[in-house]
Every structure is written in C-alpha cells, then in structure tokens.
Structure 1
Amino acid sequence: MTPNKDVRADRRTDVGTRADTRADARADADVAEIARLLPAPDRRPLPHTQHLHHKEQLMQHIDRDRTDSPARPARPAFSARRLLRPAILVPVTALALAGILTTSVVLTTGDDTATTTTASRDVRPAAALLDQISDAAGKNEELTVRDDQFAYTRQKDQGADLTSGKAVMEPLKESESWVAQDPGPLRKLGIVKEDGETLPINAQLGDTEGTPEGFGRPTYHWLASLPTDPDKLLHFLYAKTPESDDQERDQAVFERIGGLLGGVTPPKAAAALYRAAAKIPGVTKAPAAHDAIGRHGVGIAREDTTFHTRTEWVFDRQDLTFLGSRSYLVKDTQYGKKGTLMSSEAILDFAVVDKAGQEPSRARES
C-alpha cells in the first residue's frame, strides 16, 4: 500500500510541476506580447547636468519620507555643478585665474583664426587658448586650506526641468553655499541658502555611509593628489570615467574635467587639467560665449554628439578669470528646438571661510 501511495503522490507532484511550467510559459508569452505592442523605450540619456538634477529631486522625496514633520521644507534642487564641485576662493565650475598672461602665444578673441607662437606648443585655437589659461592657473598662489574650513560660493544659475518631456527653463536664482573640505566621508556636505531658507546639503545619492572626497566632492587636498603631467592626468581621467553606450566617451571625460574645475585648486593641478582638456578631440573655442547674466568672454566648448548639447566655459577676455558656463541644444530633439537653453550659471563671489554660514566679508576682516 505504501508504494502505491508514493507513486500517486509523485504523479500529483509531476502534474503540478507541469502545470506551473505551462503557467510560467503563458505569463512569459503575455509579457512578450505586451512588450511587442508598446512603443520602444527612449534609450537616449539625459545630459549629465539634468541627470543629477533629477537625482536631487529624488533625494528630496526620500528626505520627506524619512521625517514625520510635514512642515519640514524640501531641499532645493541644486544645480548639478554645485553638487559636483565645492568652491573655495574660485568659481564652482572653474578656477579663478588671476593676472594677464604674458606669453609668446597670441590670444584671439574672435573666430578660430590662425594663432602664432614662438614655442613648440599646439597651435590649434582652442589648444592655444587653453594653454594660456593653464599658464595663468599655474601662476596662482599655493594656498593652505584646512580640513575644517568651508567653501563659500555665491552664484546665479538656472536649469531646464525635463519631467514633462520638454525642456522647461526654471527662473534664474541666486544662491549661497558653504561646502565642507573635510575628506570625509560625510553625510552632511555643508549648507545652502536659497529663497530665504538655509538647508543642509546631504550626501550624494547612494552614499549611505557618506560622500568621501573625490570626483563627486573634489577637495583641495584630493586635487593635489592628481597627476600633474597632462598626458598622465588624461589617461587617469579616461580610466576613472565609466564607459557607457549612452554617452560619447570623449564628452564624458570633458564633463569629468568640468566637474573638477572648481574649489581651491593647486596651481599645478589646475594647469594640468586645462592642458588635459586641450587634448580631448572636439574641444573648440567659443567666440560668442556668455554666462547666465550676459557677461561675454572667450570660451571653450565641446558638443555631445549623442545628446546634441553644447557645453561652454566662459572666461574674462582680459585676465582669463572664469565667469560662468552654459549648455544648450545644437539640434532639434524631443526636448526642444535647436538653441534651447539647458543650463546656465554666473559666479558672483567666492571665498574660504571657517564656519558654515559665515559671510566672506567677515572672514576677510578677521
């Protein structure tokens, strides 16, 4: 009797298994049919700036979900550049380049015309301009920045909101930020003051143990550790920039350099960053470049052929001081027409201060 019961039990198990298999197959077929009927997903990436913007919006929702207080204000949607680059004594997106450069290379401020040189340097217009910017950056004073100090930056910026499927430009806003130079990792990176509210800047999305110094938070001391030889630095940047089918490789490295052009940068590191940028294919001059408040200057630019955006860095014509940056569409896309502005910023003031919330004027007087 027992053997027959076991056989019947095995048969029932086998029948149940076959039934489950058929059900799984039907479910897979249903999923495949639904996928066939739906339109293909748009696999084009957001620009790096907007990608970080929406990451910050997600963090706002997470912050609200973690608190029981409905009156707690949401964190402001910081620009991607401010999230990526703390600024001390220099702009968020580039280095303050003091002094007019005296060099044999002739600076041209118009279209990409011929450039003369008496030295064995790259004479392409963009490379020649970056060479001058590099020389100016290399002449800056080496600073002593303590780990307990903060980067103060006052700027005006705006970015396009893409949540509707179209680029909707947000109003130009002025903000002040104080970013810690502690190597970390830190859960609270500093504070920001915008629209009359002072709120914390939290660690980047995914940094559950805090954000350490590095590409996402380039402190002065971390920047000092970078290779100062332009070729070695460029090799390092390519090696540390993740590959992606959704973004042109050279553009990704160009943006990575842009993410490091802020904060108090050691002169040798600053010079190497600009000379490394000059070696990236597709980098050009931008003779009509201007920042968020309309200040015109000489510019360095590169176009992303994947997402069809152009990013420009703007420098003062006389002393090569960084003024700001902007990016815009260079081709009609689903987000807007050619020429649609995607982001823009202008640096107004910057300093090193001892405490978060301290005004630069007080720091200079002390």
Structure 2
Amino acid sequence: MNEHDEHDEREDRDCDDREALARLLPAPAERELPREQHLRHKELLMRHIDNDRDNGRRNRLRRPALLIPATALALACALTAGIALGGDGGDGGNGGTSPKMRPAAALLHRISDAAGERKTPPVRDDQFVYTRTKIREADLTSGKAVVGPLKEQETWATQRQGPMRKLGVSRIDGETLPINAELGDTEGTPAGLSRPTYRWLSELPTDPDKLLAYLYAKTPHAKERERDQAVFEQIGTLLGGMMPPRTAAALYRAAAELPGVTRAPGARDAIGRQGLGIAREDTRHGVHTEWVFDEKDFTFLGSRSRLTKDLPYGKKGTLLSSEAELEHAVVDRAGREPGR
C-alpha cells in the first residue's frame, strides 16, 4: 500500500468517526403543517411516503427546525467523499475535473460548466414562468401505490417576491386550477425553496460549498429520511426550471459533493428519452431517485423515482414518479401559452 492509499484510508476512518459522532447528537425538533400544494409533484410524492411511514397518518406534512447540529460534520464527510478513484466513464473531455474525481462528480462538473454557459431571458417580478412537462406518478392515498397514466401538465408560476396567496395556475390534461398558498401560510407563501422565483434563485450563494451548507440548513427534515437524500431531492425540485446560469452551475457542483451520488446507466425520463443519469438511493427508505440529462448538451430532461425494496405500499421496482421537461418560457399573464 502506498502513501496515497494510506492517506485515503485515514480520511475514510475520520469521516466514519464524524458520522458516528453525528448519530450521537440529539435529533432536531420537528413541527407539523398540513398538506400543501406544490408546483413539483415529485416533492409532494416523496412527502406522502414520509407521512405513510409516520404511524400511518396521511395528508400531513412535516416541517423541521431549520438547523441541525450535525450539519458541519455532514458537510465535512461530504467533502471528503467527493474525491475517489476512477475516471468518468468517457463522456467527453474532463471539463477541468480531477482525474481522481468520482465518475458522478466528474459528470456533474461538466453539466455545471454547460449550465453556466446557457443564456436565459430576463424575468421581471410581474411576469410568470411557464413550464410544460409530462408526468406520471403513484397515488398513495389508499395506502398502496397506484401508478397513474402519463399526463401533461402546464404551470404558470408568479414571480412576485412578497408572500402570495395565489402562486399561479396549473393545468393538467386540460383542467385548470389555481395554485394556492401553502396551508398554514395565512399571509401567503413567500419566495423560497417551495416557491423558487427567478430573483430568489439569483440571490442564492454561487459558491458550491456555501450553497450546500444553505441547503442542509433549509431543507425540511423528514422523519426516517436520510438527510443527504433529502438535500439531493431538494436540489432535484429546483432543476429544469427557468434559472440564472450561475445558480444552476452552483447547484450541480453542490450535488457533486453529496455522498452516495452515483452514475445511473440507462436512465430514462417519463417519455422514454434515454440520457446520462445521476442518481442517489435512500437505503433507509428504499427509494432510488435519478436525474436524466441530454447526452449532447447536458440539458436536464427529467427525473424518475422507484422503490428498491418491498414496502407496505408497494413492491420493489414500483414507479413512484417520473417527469419529462418539455418547455420553459416567460409570459406576462397566467394561462397564456408561449407565442400566443
């Protein structure tokens, strides 16, 4: 064993020690809010799973204390785990990445570089961000995962910054409904993780380490969910929309530092488009979530989640959610389609 290998082993042991210490710390307090309506169906689905685990009580959402005592320890382990042996599997040039970087991290760095070079139209606070997607997801309200048909969804998300009682409009298979403020927000829902406006996104830290620390602090804590998985899925809810290029680039580099993130060969979105896959599995919860990117220009195509073990509400391999991003634009009025 050479000196470099011994150094890596020492770092792994240190990381294990930090994780053990983190598990000894008291768990953060939790507080509950009723079920909210989200722009992102995947986020809603994942929280349904959390609620199903919580003694069978459904239709309730958990919101945690914003800071956790082990944040610094988790970040230290994430940074230590960010470099490992192996190339990137051959998807083009190295994009300035280290030859010893994990394959998933190397790919995320190239995706980050591509995202940082994209152009986005200006977005005013009085406008709406339009998104058209294809979605397919499991309904868990019966206690069993019942996978529904593929549907087309359009959303018009208001970009106003203050607390808003009406967040926009959603149209699914031709049926148009308002997107109301989160239940419990009597003054309205402000811009934030659950309502990511373009201006709010532009104010996030663009340093990947600072952004990752922010996400660990602000991501809602769900009972029994791995903390790293919760942050990975939180990043996933932000992908694909209208976003400042620098913010998008920072999000992908922050994701590259998460432990447990891997490549996902053969990844496909909701309409079957195959691309480059980035995935993470919540081994405690038995959920595998992957992101799909175009093989040529690294644009975000969509996402997919499935069960990796038999659970009371579904068998191993059951699809939980899938999504395909089709169109994004900026419009002046809710309900107006781009170009009309």
Which residue, out of 107, 128, 135, partners 2:113? 135
Which residue, out of 90, 94, 98, partners 1:108? 90
SS in 2 for 1:259: helix
AA of the residue aligned to 1:227: P
When the two structures are aligned, how many residues end up with a matched partner?
A: 263
What does the per-residue CA deviation read over 1:138-183, in whole Å, with 9 as the maximum and x for residues that have no partner?
1112542100111111111021111222211011111211111111
Superposed counterparts of 1:143-292, under 5 Å: 143-292=121-270
Distance 1:242 1:357, change over 3 A: closer
SS in 2 for 1:293: coil
TM-score normalised by L of structure 1: 0.67
SS in 2 for 1:361: coil
Distance 1:196 1:120, change over 3 A: closer
Distance 1:185 1:328, change over 3 A: same
Measured after TM superposition, the shift of residue 262 of structure 1 is 3.9
- Range with greater deviation from structure 2 (172-181 or 275-284): 172-181
Measured after TM superposition, the shift of residue 52 of structure 1 is 4.9
SS in 1 for 2:339: helix
Q: Is the 8 A contact 2:112 2:252 kept in 1?
A: yes
> What does residue 323 of structure 2 align with?
345
SS in 1 for 2:274: coil
What does the per-residue CA deviation read over 1:218-268, in whole Å, with 9 as the maximum and x for residues that have no partner?
111111111111111111111222445421111111112112224321111
Distance 1:192 1:118, change over 3 A: closer
AA of the residue aligned to 1:125: P
**Aligned mates of 1:169, 1:283 — CA distance in 2:** 26
**Aligned mates of 2:249, 2:95 — CA distance in 1:** 19
Q: Is the 8 A contact 1:218 1:263 kept in 2?
A: no
Distance 1:118 1:271, change over 3 A: closer
**Aligned mates of 1:338, 1:226 — CA distance in 2:** 37
**Aligned mates of 1:54, 1:184 — CA distance in 2:** 31
Superposed counterparts of 1:353-364, under 5 Å: 353-362=331-340
AA of the residue aligned to 1:128: A
SS in 2 for 1:254: helix
**Aligned mates of 1:118, 1:213 — CA distance in 2:** 34
Distance 1:335 1:176, change over 3 A: same
Measured after TM superposition, the shift of residue 348 of structure 1 is 1.7
> What does residue 103 of structure 2 align with?
125
Question: Percent identity over the alignment?
Answer: 65
AA of the residue aligned to 2:114: A
Measured after TM superposition, the shift of residue 195 of structure 1 is 3.1
Which residue, out of 50, 64, 82, partners 2:45? 50
Q: Is the 8 A contact 2:159 2:198 kept in 1?
A: yes
Measured after TM superposition, the shift of residue 323 of structure 1 is 1.1
Q: Is the 8 A contact 1:116 1:123 kept in 2?
A: no
Measured after TM superposition, the shift of residue 121 of structure 1 is 6.5
SS in 1 for 2:108: helix
Q: Is the 8 A contact 1:288 1:299 kept in 2?
A: yes
SS in 2 for 1:360: coil
> What does residue 62 of structure 1 align with?
none
**Aligned mates of 2:258, 2:225 — CA distance in 1:** 15
Distance 1:121 1:182, change over 3 A: farther
Distance 1:119 1:198, change over 3 A: closer
Q: Compute the RMSD of aligned alpha carbons.
A: 2.4
AA of the residue aligned to 1:195: D
**Aligned mates of 1:118, 1:146 — CA distance in 2:** 34
> What does residue 26 of structure 2 align with?
none
Measured after TM superposition, the shift of residue 347 of structure 1 is 1.5
SS in 1 for 2:255: helix
AA of the residue aligned to 1:267: P
Structure 1, gaps ≥5 residues long: 1-46, 56-104, 110-114
What does the per-residue CA deviation read over 1:16-66, in whole Å, with 9 as the maximum and x for residues that have no partner?
xxxxxxxxxxxxxxxxxxxxxxxxxxxxxxx954255699xxxxxxxxxxx
**Aligned mates of 1:53, 1:191 — CA distance in 2:** 22
